[in-house]
Amino acid sequence: MEQRDGTRNEHGVRRDLTITGEGSLGGGAYGRVRIRGEGELHGDVDCEALCVLGNCRAEGRVDARVVDVTGTLEVAGGARGGRVLGRGVITVHDACEWELVRYRGVLTVHGACRVDRLDVRGELTVEGDLTAETCEVWGVITVDGLVNAETLELVLFGPSRAGEIGGGTVTVRPNRVPFAGDGELMVDVVEGDQVSLYRTTAKVVRGGRVTIGRGCRVDVVEYRESYEADLRAEVGEVRKV
């Protein structure tokens, strides 16, 4: 384990720290924390950057300006910070708040998740509400609560599920990848100004401009401005309000 002085800020010097091989560090404020191999963080960690190449387990919170993971990161407390980048598996066992998430792999949050811009390719699971300004997911999404996003774009690669979806523009579309297979989305209610769906099973879809695409099964559609449905969609009742 090597240590050196790093970023200076108003609280004094924040130490940079690198773990190579195997090691652990206590909670506190750090500059850059680099883990190559296996690392454990005991207590709440507040750092400029947490870079993991390998595996890392945090017992407390992780508040970091940048989290960059290649491998796995498991956080027992909550997480908050700027950017989350990388590829691999991230599991957080409490509520999260980030500015930007650009992640390839599996991201699981056992709690509410609040992100400004979210871009996930892979699997996104949130036990609670997911709140984002822009939310783009290529893959599979599982959200127990409400997905609330100004723009939501969901490209289906597998069986997805959400409690409710609400926001400005909601787009669910098929992937164009050959041999990748088709996904589907199960959701209770979809509400938005512009809603465009594909292979979605929903009880109610309400919106301004609604497009129901191929393979959808919707019990009730309520629209205000326009409505379109694919011939291969099953729609129960359509109401203009």
Partner 1 sequence: MEEDLISKKELLEVTGISYGQLYRWKRKRLIPEEWFIRKSTFTGQETFFPRDKILARIERIKNMKDDLSLDELADVFSPSPAGVSVRWDEVSERHIVTEVAQRVYRERHPEARVLSFDELLCLYVLDAALQTGEVSLDEGRMALQLMENEYPQLQRGAEQGRAVELVFVRKLGIATCLLATLPGELRFEQGARVVARINIPACVEQLKLKLA
Would you tell me which residues interact with partner 1 (CB under 8 A)? Answer: 131, 133, 148, 150, 166-169, 188-189, 191-193, 203-204, 206-208, 220, 222, 224, 241
Beta strands 79-92 and 62-75 are parallel
Nearest distance, CB of residue 219 and partner 1, angstroms: 8
DSSP alpha helices (H): ranges in 92-195? none
50 or 137, CB closer to partner 1?
A: 137
228: tokens are 């379109």
Q: Which residues contact 46 (CB under 8 A, 6 or more apart)?
A: 28, 29, 30, 63, 64
Nearest distance, CB of residue 164 and partner 1, angstroms: 8
Nearest distance, CB of residue 111 and partner 1, angstroms: 13
Nearest distance, CB of residue 10 and partner 1, angstroms: 16
122 or 168, CB closer to partner 1?
A: 168
41 or 154, CB closer to partner 1?
A: 154
220 or 235, CB closer to partner 1?
A: 220
Report yes or no: 63 and 46 within 8 Å, Cβ to Cβ: yes
Q: How far apart are CA 100 and CA 23, in angstroms?
A: 29
Q: Which residues contact 217 (CB under 8 A, 6 or more apart)?
A: 200, 201, 202, 233, 234
7 or 194, CB closer to partner 1?
A: 194
Q: How far apart are CA 186 and CA 142, in angstroms?
A: 10
51 or 197, CB closer to partner 1?
A: 197
59 or 133, CB closer to partner 1?
A: 133
Nearest distance, CB of residue 20 and partner 1, angstroms: 39
Residues 77, 87, 38, 19, CA torsion sign: negative
Using a 10 angstrom Cβ sphere, with 0-12 exposed, 13-18 middle and 19 or more buried, the burial of residue 200 is buried
Cα angle: 99, vertex 104, 109; to 5 degrees: 60
Nearest distance, CB of residue 168 and partner 1, angstroms: 4
Q: How far apart are CA 158 and CA 132, in angstroms?
A: 22
Nearest distance, CB of residue 199 and partner 1, angstroms: 21
